[in-house]
Amino acid sequence: MTLSRAELAQYVDHTLLKPESTPADVEALIAEAAQLGVFSVCVSPSMLPVSTPAGVAVATVCGFPSGKHHSFVKAAEAALSIEQGADEVDMVIDIAAANEGRFDDVQSDIAAVRGAVPEGKILKVIIESAALSDEAIVGACRAAEAAGADFVKTSTGFHPAGGASVHAVKLMADAVGGRLGVKASGGIRTADAALAMIDAGATRLGLSGTAAVLDGLDGAVTETEGDGGY
């Protein structure tokens, strides 16, 4: 596959979720987002509202990073974020519920947040794929679709089990079959890694080191499955 720098940038949620981030850090993120031409910025809900240049969406997180918040609290957090200008909300599921096969509970949790994120706003569901079995990944994706989510997303980037993998992205893309978007995030630090995720089925990327990824694009090489993998 071949992507220009501008095309790759439009896959990117340019992300700053470090707990020590300051308003000045967020302002710098937004300025860099405008320069890089990314799709959106993703910031912590406490940093909202923010003002972004035309064409740059605002994303935030919900129930982050553990997912161990009551569904009512997640929904309230999402609703406030929408009121404060968020275009997209990335929520974290209860990971244990997915690993135990309690997908009705996962679906109910997601549906509560979906009820707080109105039509026209995007809901992404973080399943923390590195902490799940393959079966749980697929089940969580199906629960997200049944609950009305717009995207499934690999990772928070904070879990010790790790971040995105090509294997997980492929599983997720197959599970949603193009009906939902797939966001790969967590540990994607090179252009090669970014292109591999897209090749596996990612339609959005969560990156904190966006400039370095884009700067590395000229030297990046990726292959399609038909050419023998990555």
What phi and psi values does residue 147 have, to the nearest 5 degrees?
-85, -5
Tell me the whole-structure pTM to 2 decimals: 0.94
Contacts of 194 (CB under 8 A, 6+ apart): 8, 11, 188, 205, 207, 213, 220
Q: What is the structure's pLDDT at 219? A: 73
Taking the C-alpha atoms of residue 147 and residue 108, their distance in angstroms, rounded to an integer, is 7
In this structure, which amino acid lies at residue 203? T
Q: What is the structure's pLDDT at 223? A: 38
Upper half-sphere CA count for residue 48 (Cβ side, 13 Å): 24
Peptide linkage before 23 cis (omega within 30 of 0): no
Peptide linkage before 49 cis (omega within 30 of 0): yes
Q: What is the structure's pLDDT at 146? A: 98
Catalytic-labelled residue, pool 90, 109, 150, 199: 90
Q: Which domain holds residue 42?
A: 5-227
**CATH code of residue 188:** 3.20.20.70
153 is catalytic: yes
Q: What is the pLDDT along the chain (230 residues), one digit of tens a residue?
A: 689 999 999 999 999 999 999 999 999 999 999 999 999 999 999 999 999 999 999 999 999 999 999 999 999 999 999 999 999 999 999 999 999 999 999 999 999 999 999 999 999 999 999 999 999 999 999 999 999 999 999 999 999 999 999 999 999 999 999 999 999 999 999 999 999 999 999 999 999 999 999 999 987 754 333 222 21
Taking the C-alpha atoms of residue 65 and residue 17, their distance in angstroms, rounded to an integer, is 10
90 is catalytic: yes
Q: What is the domain count for the chain?
A: 1
121 is catalytic: no
